[in-house]
Structure 1
Amino acid sequence: MTAPSSMLTFNAGSLLVLSGLPGAGKTRLRQAAQGLPEGAWVSMDELRRQVLGTLNVLNGGRPQTQVRQEANDVVYHMAQAIVAERMRHGLSTVVDATNLTDADRQAWIEHAQAHGAEAVVLIVDTPLDECLRRMSGRTDWVPQSRILEMLEAGASAQGKGDGFERRSVHPYRLLTGGETLCFRPRPVATEQLDVVSDVHGLLDDLLVLLAEAGWQVRDGVLRHADAQRRLLFLGDLVDRGPDSLPLLELVQRSCEAGTAQCLQGNHEAKLLKFVDQAQREGIERWGSWANAETGMNLLKLPEERRQRLLAFMRGLPPYLVHEPAKVAFVHGDVHRFDPFLSLREDLVHGQSGFRQGVDSDALYAAGHRAGLNAYLVIRGHVPPTSEQDCIVSIEAQGYQKGELRLLRFDEFLAARAAGVGVQAAVRQALRVRACSHDQQAHAERQFGLAKALEALTSRKLVRRSLDPSKLLRSYKYAKEVFWLGAWDESPYLIKARGIVLDAAGTVVSNPFDKVFNYGEREVGRDLPDTLPVVEALKLNGFLGIISPHPLKRGELLVHTQGSLDPENAYVRHITELLQPRQRGLLARFFSQRPMTLMLEVLHPQDPHIVEYGPDEHGLYLIGARTLGFEDPELPEDALDPIAEQLALRRPWWRRTTLGEVKRRVRECRDEGSMVRADTATQTSLLKMKSPFYLTTKFLARLSSKNARHLFGNPQDFKKHQDEELYPIVDAVAARFDLDGFLALSESERVRAVRDIIDSQQ
């Protein structure tokens, strides 16, 4: 609390919450207020008059006007909506209501907090007897009984006191009612100011530019040799460049230390919306990949750091002014500027909406000539749209091989005082740093995979599934890709085998690429039998995938090719087989070596063609790769120590030749083999399925009904089968008719299908 003074000054855009009994002097405060824009005073009594009007009554034989109270709930919600909207737009607001307790004040304060606005409770502490005396002489009258009811309700809620809290947990001032409230435009700290254009995560370039202007980072804060000098950032600290969050934290610390000020740019505003939506309902799609990239990195921060940055960005003002020179600093390309009436979104996002052919600077100049725009504006956001003498942009798109710019404001003012024109004075006072960052190239590298997979999803060649938070999405090629033969439609299709990206397109789980069966798309036909290969047993389970969870530090992201849902039956099969000790081992392993592990899952409730005993059920490590989408799989000999470290099983593997693999697979009674090149990287070449496995699987699916389907429409039948059976379907349909096939005995069918498979392999 501070002592009362006759003039109380508040920054425009603040929320003032009045607190006091009827008759305390709130109306007098309104009459004396300065800088009060239209609509700023939100009076509960005025809203009551609008809703139900007033009623003339006799009070002690004297006619008085009574404000009707019967619609208080409606009036309260109206007032809340008005205040919420004004706070959203950054407009000065005064709440005129009794608000006798902090419980009454809290709802108003929350509207300010939601938008980073300053909020102060003004407690008008006029004694009850004086309030009653004043009220008895007023024409608009609140009955004494109603005033006493207010106090009783407050006392009941508090459980103590007289029902009027004369202190607050929020910032507050204690008033007598004789003060003058004054709103003023938000000021810059000094004219000894270095103004910096949109930095967009280019921290290294910024530090070079600032060093040339005498700034250094000391104790984590930007400081100048001249202790009186200050920095002003025009917003858009984040997105596009490589160091958005370190830059944001540096500016935050500098603002808190008093060496810098910063405006809110449209990219900070979008980032706040991203995080709010992500935490409230998830992100299915977002309009800016670069903004989503920063947003996801922000969500990965520890809670305390994240909340501090969010509070900092919310509290950034939309403008500042240097009133002596009548100069305003804003981010957006405004057409109109008034420190009391301009809406936050216009100042932050600009008023042209990136529309082609709109000369926003010329529009501002026209308003200036007409007397509507009183300030010379220095802005960022987009480069100048034209040269004017009342508005200047120092933005030069440093993120796209442009320039980062710093304007020495005191030098600019000195040049203006010497008679130099506005644009020439700007050029004299500018310091520039040529930047090499190429955002277009970065976007292609960083977001190209996500854009390609989304395009394939829209063409229904890929199926996308979301996790419960809707911040992660997995991609799996559709069955149609096989029977349409669409693999050549995009090189990214082979990546869609359960790969998981976050909302910004960053790979967070990176399982196997698609590996084709021998003979499928002619794969392996040209390889000699003498080729040295690495053969690994193909177990007959399903693919389970485990990666470090990108948003939950120390937790696991467990999924299948087609589902990120923890309640999915197959995902639950994986988690059921994970022992508590293994979870701890995996968490420690991932903290040192973030990567994706691929597992063959043999679960007793998931029977397959090959039968396994109880002692064979479990999780078998069959692959691993780091999280770059072009990163190679680890070779088999690198998987063995990982499996031992994590208490996972391993299928057998050996070095051999392709011919030996064929001979083994032809006679085995397991699913077959995975075949990799016997090189340092052991690139996967193909899968080879055994005749035993394929025959059993094909005939198990060929009931009389399905046989009629196969022979009636082979191509449609294939749509409902796994791709490894396609060649068998084609051969059976070509070699037999329905009656002939159904006439075969079971052993004859087995022999016929085996002959087909042998000829194909």
Structure 2
Amino acid sequence: MHVDREVVRSVGRLASTLYADKITTSESWSAWARRNARSLEKFLGYTQLEGMPAVYTLVKPFFHPTEPLVGFNYTQTAHNTLYEFPAGWTPAIRHCRGIVFDSGGSLVALPFPKFFNYGEHEETRDLPNEPFEATVKHDGHLGIIFQYGSGLHLTTRGDFGSRTSLLGNKMLAKYVARSNWASQMPPEVTLLVEIIHPNTQVYVDYHDEKQFIIIGAYHLPTLHDYDYARLRELGRRLRLPVSQRWTGTNLDELVALMADRSVENQEGFVIRFASGLRVKLKYQTYIGKMVADKLSYTYLMNRWMTGNLQRMLDTLPEEIYNTALRMVGQIFVTMNGTGTPQEKWRRLYDILPENQSTAYYQGVCREFVKHMMHV
């Protein structure tokens, strides 16, 4: 999606409102957001329909410890529940992916708005027939580099003081000193990098590499999204590598590559279409590792409710597939027994030992039963 100036302004007004109301901590935000849910819905363009989560559970601000800066990030609740309610991913909530404002609501840092995997959202099911660029999707942590005051700063998309933010700022200081970034960084640009470091490794092994890789950039006054040629130019100025571009031209061929199970230790690609649409493509071998790592009854029930359970199962490596099928079978047998909805979700509670049956797990069980019984 294109960055929308009016949407950015609306989130900026939320930022300035928080400072005007002296909301500068996560704790004060929680109470404020509940009291001002209607205003928050207007800022974020959100309408809560039946079954949808409350707006104050979907976005969370994060505050800089020493500067009058606030960032916004969508929550795990948004990530877990809005796939069932695609309209809940409003443009404003999608922009809340590490976007940063000052206390007056002026834009300070602009990362990518949320974009989706191929096939998981309406906009990524039928891809447009238009020019595109595809670059390697790296498997580290996103670093959002921005200019404020007299220097450069880095944040992750949810916390100025996270371990990755602290690591990234140490790496940033070395780059600034080594490559004279003070004079080489274009003014009013947000630089988006993948932080590759042993401490940010997820599933792809980069063999102790420690570097930034440029994956995007925005010019704040125009909200212009740098294309690959501009990113290469920026990489030369800053002496940074840029995410490698796929040299093919056939989109169907690229999509088909994701099913190649001989590919190991790679995540996939990001496609950027001429219209501004971004789409993630991931190798099935990568998805299989990712799913196996977080395989749980809640994960399976959530996938079941969103209608993509079988597609997820098809990505699993053979040694995990049978375990997942056994877990699905337990859910199916429990769900299809006789009884009221309450009796069914209590039986689902008992699949896990009592000390593992958390409030979140029980909530998913209830939603699953309601979904399956159309309650």
Query: Corresponding residue for 1:469?
Result: 66
Does residue 609 (structure 1) correspond to residue 343 (structure 2)? The answer is no
Q: 1:593 to 1:585 in 2, by over 3 A?
A: same
> What secondary structure does 2:164 align onto?
helix
What are the Cα deviations for residues 76-97 of structure 1, in whole angstroms up to 9, with x where unaligned?
Answer: xxxxxxxxxxxxxxxxxxxxxx
Give distance in 1, aligned partners of 2:82 and 2:294.
22
* Counterpart amino acid of residue 113 in structure 2: D
> What secondary structure does 1:523 align onto?
helix
Query: Corresponding residue for 1:452?
Result: 43
Query: Corresponding residue for 2:32?
Result: none
Equivalent of 1:570 in 164, 172, 177: 164
Does residue 633 (structure 1) correspond to residue 225 (structure 2)? The answer is yes
Contact 1:510 1:625 in 2 (8 A): yes
Does residue 286 (structure 1) correspond to residue 11 (structure 2)? The answer is no
Equivalent of 2:245 in 647, 653, 663: 653
Does residue 556 (structure 1) correspond to residue 144 (structure 2)? The answer is no
- Please state how far the C-alpha of 1:284 moved relative to its aligned partner: 5.1
Q: 1:734 to 1:641 in 2, by over 3 A?
A: closer
What are the Cα deviations for residues 635-670 of structure 1, in whole angstroms up to 9, with x where unaligned?
Answer: 011101111111212121135221121123322331
Contact 2:154 2:172 in 1 (8 A): no
- Please state how far the C-alpha of 1:520 moved relative to its aligned partner: 1.4
Equivalent of 1:675 in 248, 251, 271: 271
What are the Cα deviations for residues 413-436 of structure 1, in whole angstroms up to 9, with x where unaligned?
Answer: xxxxxxxxxxxxxxxxxxxxxxxx
Query: Corresponding residue for 1:543?
Result: 142
- Please state how far the C-alpha of 1:564 moved relative to its aligned partner: 1.6
Give distance in 2, aligned partners of 1:747 and 1:534.
34
Does residue 585 (structure 1) correspond to residue 180 (structure 2)? The answer is yes
| Identity between Structure 1 and Structure 2 (%) | 24
Query: Corresponding residue for 1:183?
Result: none
What are the Cα deviations for residues 721-745 of structure 1, in whole angstroms up to 9, with x where unaligned?
Answer: xxxxx765x338999xxxxx9xx96
Query: Corresponding residue for 1:484?
Result: 82
Q: 1:519 to 1:504 in 2, by over 3 A?
A: same
Give distance in 2, aligned partners of 1:466 and 1:535.
34
* Counterpart amino acid of residue 310 in structure 2: A
- Please state how far the C-alpha of 1:488 moved relative to its aligned partner: 2.5
Give distance in 2, aligned partners of 1:692 and 1:644.
33
> What secondary structure does 2:19 align onto?
coil
Query: Corresponding residue for 2:127?
Result: 527
Contact 1:573 1:603 in 2 (8 A): no
Higher relative contact order (CA 8 A, sep 6+): 2
Contact 2:193 2:212 in 1 (8 A): yes
Contact 1:532 1:657 in 2 (8 A): no
Query: Corresponding residue for 2:329?
Result: none
Does residue 501 (structure 1) correspond to residue 95 (structure 2)? The answer is no
- Please state how far the C-alpha of 1:478 moved relative to its aligned partner: 1.6
- Superposition RMSD in Å: 3.7
- Please state how far the C-alpha of 1:540 moved relative to its aligned partner: 0.7
* Counterpart amino acid of residue 674 in structure 1: V
* Counterpart amino acid of residue 587 in structure 1: A
Does residue 690 (structure 1) correspond to residue 283 (structure 2)? The answer is yes
- Please state how far the C-alpha of 1:473 moved relative to its aligned partner: 0.5
Give distance in 2, aligned partners of 1:502 and 1:469.
12
Alignment of 1:334-349 (within 5 A): none
What are the Cα deviations for residues 466-490 of structure 1, in whole angstroms up to 9, with x where unaligned?
Answer: 0013611100112222313455243
Does residue 731 (structure 1) correspond to residue 310 (structure 2)? The answer is yes
Contact 2:86 2:121 in 1 (8 A): no
- Please state how far the C-alpha of 1:683 moved relative to its aligned partner: 1.9
- Please state how far the C-alpha of 1:701 moved relative to its aligned partner: 2.1
Query: Corresponding residue for 1:429?
Result: none
* Counterpart amino acid of residue 597 in structure 1: L
- Please state how far the C-alpha of 1:533 moved relative to its aligned partner: 2.0
List runs of 5+ in structure 2 lacking aligned partners.
1-15, 23-38, 48-53, 326-375
* Counterpart amino acid of residue 479 in structure 1: Q
Q: 1:581 to 1:691 in 2, by over 3 A?
A: closer
**Normalized per residue, which structure has more helix?**
2
Give distance in 1, aligned partners of 2:86 and 2:320.
36
- Please state how far the C-alpha of 1:684 moved relative to its aligned partner: 3.5
Give distance in 2, aligned partners of 1:517 and 1:559.
24
Equivalent of 1:701 in 294, 301, 305: 294
Give distance in 1, aligned partners of 2:41 and 2:224.
19
> What secondary structure does 1:697 align onto?
helix
- Please state how far the C-alpha of 1:572 moved relative to its aligned partner: 1.8
Give distance in 2, aligned partners of 1:464 and 1:612.
32
Equivalent of 2:192 in 571, 583, 598: 598
> What secondary structure does 1:573 align onto?
helix
Give distance in 2, aligned partners of 1:698 and 1:613.
23
Give distance in 2, aligned partners of 1:690 and 1:710.
20
Alignment of 1:409-420 (within 5 A): none
How many pairs are equivalent?
Answer: 279
Contact 1:673 1:688 in 2 (8 A): yes
- Please state how far the C-alpha of 1:580 moved relative to its aligned partner: 2.9
Q: Structure 1 length as normaliser, TM-score? A: 0.33
Q: 1:558 to 1:526 in 2, by over 3 A?
A: same
What are the Cα deviations for residues 663-686 of structure 1, in whole angstroms up to 9, with x where unaligned?
Answer: 233223311110012x4xx62331
